[in-house]
């Protein structure tokens, strides 16, 4: 007598449906980003270390060198990319897809475009943040890009974890400042990235100089055996907010050109499995 096959419980069926949905989302995201050569996330262990400033100036520097570049702002709670770039025209929609806005040669998508007021707080729980990030990843029509720079939320909570688990990244650029607390938080975040088996392309030390000191970024890179990508000094040049600072300051431009060169070397070494 044949034993009847056991039907899955409602809990088992719900778990299988969730796994299937996640797989379908990842497949759709991978297909949507298939024409992008390098996907680089700019990340920090805590807020206030200049992560968005680094992401924007990095993207603009890459574009100035003749690369096709996109900038995706997935810091859903505090989207600042649009403010730094001085861009207000939201993406257009064509056949259900978002066509990014563009400024200074960089294609841009950000939650900031969809706020009614820029000083309005976005008070969302984790599932809503997760859904917004997934929609950006699946629905944005980037086309062919040399680089997609992703401005991540800081910390090790749900929002950055969502991006790390759904977006096939080539690696992370970790931003820290000279203070010991920022260095500690950056170390925690690097350890999180490593647990998820994603490459750390290197460390950037921001806000260096007389006020905060310097050296924490190099020490962090040496301690965790990752590349050190560059130092960004705390300069009065950043007071000029009409454009990203690499377009108004020769000194800042040179710092970011060095960062780009080191980043490209790290990406190449990563691709070769070194």
Give the residue carrying structure tokens 């040496």. Answer: 222
pTM of the model: 0.90
Report domain 41-271's class. Answer: alpha beta
pLDDT (tens digit, 9 = 90+) per residue, 96-111?
A: 899 999 999 999 999 8
User: Is the model's pLDDT at 171 over the cut of 60?
Assistant: yes
Give the pLDDT confidence score for residue 274 in this predicted structure.
57
Mean pLDDT, residues 67-89: 91
Domain residue ranges in the chain: 41-271
Distance between first and last Cα of the chain? 59
Q: Which pLDDT score, from 0 to 100, does residue 188 have?
A: 92
Angle, helices 51-64 vs 250-271, to 10°: value is 80
Residues 76, 158: Cα–Cα separation, whole Å: 11
Which pLDDT score is estimated for 4? 66
Whole-number Å distance between alpha carbons of 80 and 76: 9
pLDDT, residue 70, reads 97
172 or 161, greater pLDDT: 172
pLDDT bin (cut points 50, 70, 90) of residue 273 is confident
For residue 238, what are the CA distances in angstroms to 50, 57, 211, 232? 11, 11, 15, 11
Nearest-CA neighbor of 84 among 199, 236, 229, 247? 247
> ∠ CA 150-153-156 to the nearest 5 degrees?
120
Cα–Cα nearest to 201, from 182, 183, 177, 228: 228
Closest-CA residue to 132 (of 77, 71, 55, 53): 77
Across the chain, what does the average pLDDT equal?
89
């Amino acid at each position: 007598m044949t034993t009847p096959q056991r039907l899955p419980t409602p809990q088992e069926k719900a778990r299988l449906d969730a796994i299937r949905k996640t797989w379908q989302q990842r497949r759709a995201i991978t297909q949507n980003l298939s024409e992008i050569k390098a996907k680089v996330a700019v990340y920090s262990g805590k807020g206030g270390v200049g992560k968005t400033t680094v992401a924007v100036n990095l993207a603009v520097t890459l574009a100035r060198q003749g690369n096709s570049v996109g900038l995706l702002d997935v810091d859903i709670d505090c989207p600042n990319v649009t403010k730094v770039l001085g861009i207000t025209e939201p993406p257009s929609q064509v056949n259900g897809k978002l066509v990014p806005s563009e400024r200074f040669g960089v294609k841009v998508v950000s939650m900031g475009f969809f706020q009614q007021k820029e000083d309005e707080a976005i008070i969302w729980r984790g599932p809503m943040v997760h859904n917004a990030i997934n929609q950006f990843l699946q629905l944005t029509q980037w086309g062919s890009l040399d680089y997609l720079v992703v401005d991540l939320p800081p910390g090790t909570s749900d929002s950055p974890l969502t991006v790390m688990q759904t977006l096939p990244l080539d690696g992370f650029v970790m931003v820290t400042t000279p203070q010991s607390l920022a260095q500690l938080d950056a170390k925690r975040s690097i350890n999180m990235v490593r647990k998820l088996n994603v490459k750390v392309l290197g460390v950037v030390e921001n806000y260096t100089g007389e006020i905060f000191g310097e050296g924490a970024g190099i020490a962090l890179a040496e301690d965790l055996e990752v590349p050190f990508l560059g130092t960004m000094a705390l300069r009065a040049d950043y007071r000029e907010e009409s454009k990203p600072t690499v377009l108004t300051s020769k000194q800042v431009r040179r710092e970011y050109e060095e960062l780009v060169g080191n980043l490209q070397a790290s990406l190449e070494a990563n691709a070769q499995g070194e």
